[in-house]
């Protein structure tokens, strides 16, 4: 289930967004608006959802959270932008920290 998360998620909603990939949640974080899309099988779907909601491309970063190990990765095709980020991996440590902080604050059940 792909959805936009604007405030701390509850346990039931977290289970629903984790269903698509069996305990792994793909997220696209808007670092300016401090919201994210969660769920689905492709980052591009979450990216499109946020763009339609008013986000700007340069503020969106793809990542993932493994709910079993609590480990995050910062790898997504949407992160590959020759003028802003030359890798699928988020290279800027400041952006990585923002993505992780926003993800953890919204996806830690209330």
What range does the domain containing 43 cover?
3-107
Mean pLDDT of the chain: 94
pLDDT at 21: 87
pLDDT tier for residue 15 given thresholds of 50, 70 and 90: confident
Average pLDDT on 8-20 reads 89
SS (H, E, C) the chain: CCEEECCCCCHHHHHHHHCCCCCEEEEEEECCCCEEEECCCCHHHHHHHHHHCCCCHHHEEEEEEECCCCCEECECHHHCECCCECCCECCCHHHHHHHHHHHHHHHCCC
29-78 pLDDT per residue, tens: 999 999 999 999 999 999 999 999 999 999 999 999 999 999 999 999 99
């Amino acid at each position: 289930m792909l959805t936009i998360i604007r405030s701390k998620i509850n346990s039931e909603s977290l289970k629903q967004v984790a269903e698509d990939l069996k305990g792994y949640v793909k997220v696209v974080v808007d670092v300016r608006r401090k919201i994210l899309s969660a769920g689905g099988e492709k980052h591009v779907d979450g990216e499109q959802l946020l763009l339609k909601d008013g986000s700007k491309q340069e503020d969106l970063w793809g990542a993932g959270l493994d709910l079993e190990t609590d480990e995050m990765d910062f790898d997504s095709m949407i992160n590959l932008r020759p003028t802003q980020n030359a890798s699928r991996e988020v290279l800027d440590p400041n952006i990585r920290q923002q993505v992780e902080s926003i993800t953890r604050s919204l996806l830690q059940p209330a």
